[in-house]
Amino acid sequence: MGFRTAYLVILIAVLAVLAVFASTDFAVPISFSSLRDLSFGAELFTFLSRGPWALFEQHVARHHHRHRKHLDDGQRKVSICDDFPPDIPPPETNTALTFCVDRNGCCNFTTVQAAVDAAGNFSQKRTVIWINSGIYYEKVIIPKAKPNIMFQGQGYLSTAIVWNDTANSSHGTFYSGSVQVFSNNFIARNISFMNVAPIPSPGDQGAQAVAFRIAGDQASFWGCGFFGAQDTLHDDSGRHYFRDCYIQGSIDFIFGDARSLYENCQLISMATPVPPGQKLINGAVTAHGRVSKDENTGFAFLKASIGGTGRILLGRAWRPFSRVVFAYTTMTDIIAPEGWNDFNDPASDQTVYFGEYNCSGAGANMNLRAPYVQRLNDTQASPFLNISFIDGDQWL
């Protein structure tokens, strides 16, 4: 590839990025030529073309260009690690230990799982796993014995952990997660979790594919991406905080029985577009699994924005006491007017807690909402509007 071609690649990448920003719902199909070499081939491709992945493309193009340029400059010896930050990993302190992961072998580990394995069992200290830009093709599991781990990526469009298990390929939906965390006090910052299994067609059995499962208590996620289709984010159990996250999916794309506060997150549906006038529903943002009134679980969304494609619900009652609240959230017209669904169990109409408070946008019109949906007043909404909902004042 010559100098001119390299520029062309960058130009195309920049145009692709502009195209993404110009579209409000990230649904513009983009071509990802240099990602074609990567191992997941066509499936990854179809998948990426439905998300804002042009930034990955730009990263790859820039990288390629830089190496070319060094060679053109007179064949001086260059290492792929030349640009590696000199202060990573920082020395161990009394409170934290940093492990570094780089695909190209420029520091401690080349896989995230190897770094997790090296973290201490039942460590009181925080283990920061610093993960360089790149796509890490691996399934990662953090067992209960490894608390206090933090994943620090370089941005949710630069660092991603990607796998492609489905319910069928992994003994059930719950085990299909590309990354699964069972330990307490987990933190993730500026990183994405993806499942790139083929997008389920209507009627498919066993094609659900979780990108991330969190089953530990007191976890927080800052600037993270969660990319999948059906069942993207398994917000399983424990108390969790999600801030400034990007969550993409189709059916029940945030599900589980955790108690979680989502603040300032983008919830993007990638369900198939439904022609105007058709009443078909082909997705749902949430499927919360609260089983009884004695359980203090629920999903609260504060200042979220909901967009993308399809004609979807805000929530379905996966279990009879399902509890979900949307507050100060903007919703496009992809939200069907009824808004919610009782999972075909009319008995749960009396027991679900589905509330909306001060939302806006074409999808937030409550005139035709299902009868059991609550228009929350200030008093009713207040428990869901800050970190006290997840006892965050004690641990966050």
Ligand X SMILES: *[C@@H]1O[C@H](CO)[C@@H](O)[C@H](O)[C@H]1NC(C)=O
Catalytic residue positions, numbered: 252
Structure tokens at 151: 């994943």
- Nearer to ligand X by Cβ, of 90 and 362: the residue is 90
On whether the CB atoms of residues 89 and 100 are closer than 8 A, the answer is yes
Instruction: Name the minimum Å distance from CB 162 to ligand X.
Output: 10
Instruction: Name the minimum Å distance from CB 154 to ligand X.
Output: 8
Dihedral angle sign, alpha carbons of residues 18, 23, 25, 30: negative
Residues near ligand X (CB under 6 A) are 40-41, 89, 99, 107-108, 118, 120-121, 155, 164-166, 168-169, 189-190, 197, 204-207, 223, 358, 377-380, 382-383, 386-388, 393
- Nearer to ligand X by Cβ, of 28 and 118: the residue is 118
Instruction: Name the minimum Å distance from CB 279 to ligand X.
Output: 27
- Nearer to ligand X by Cβ, of 54 and 207: the residue is 207
Cα dist. 72→66, 77, 80, 84, 267 in Å? 10, 11, 15, 21, 44
- Nearer to ligand X by Cβ, of 205 and 344: the residue is 205
Instruction: Name the minimum Å distance from CB 44 to ligand X.
Output: 8
On whether the CB atoms of residues 366 and 373 are closer than 8 A, the answer is yes
On whether the CB atoms of residues 298 and 353 are closer than 8 A, the answer is yes
Q: Taking each helix axis from N to C terminus, what angle separates 3-22 and 54-72, rounded to the nearest 10 degrees? A: 160
Instruction: Name the minimum Å distance from CB 166 to ligand X.
Output: 5
- Nearer to ligand X by Cβ, of 110 and 382: the residue is 382
Cα dist. 388→259, 382, 393 in Å? 11, 10, 6
Q: Tell me the one-letter amino acid at 305.
A: S
> Nearest residue to ligand X, using CB?
206
DSSP string, 70-114: HHHTT-----TTTTS-TT-SPPP-SSEEEEEE-TTSSSSBSSHHH
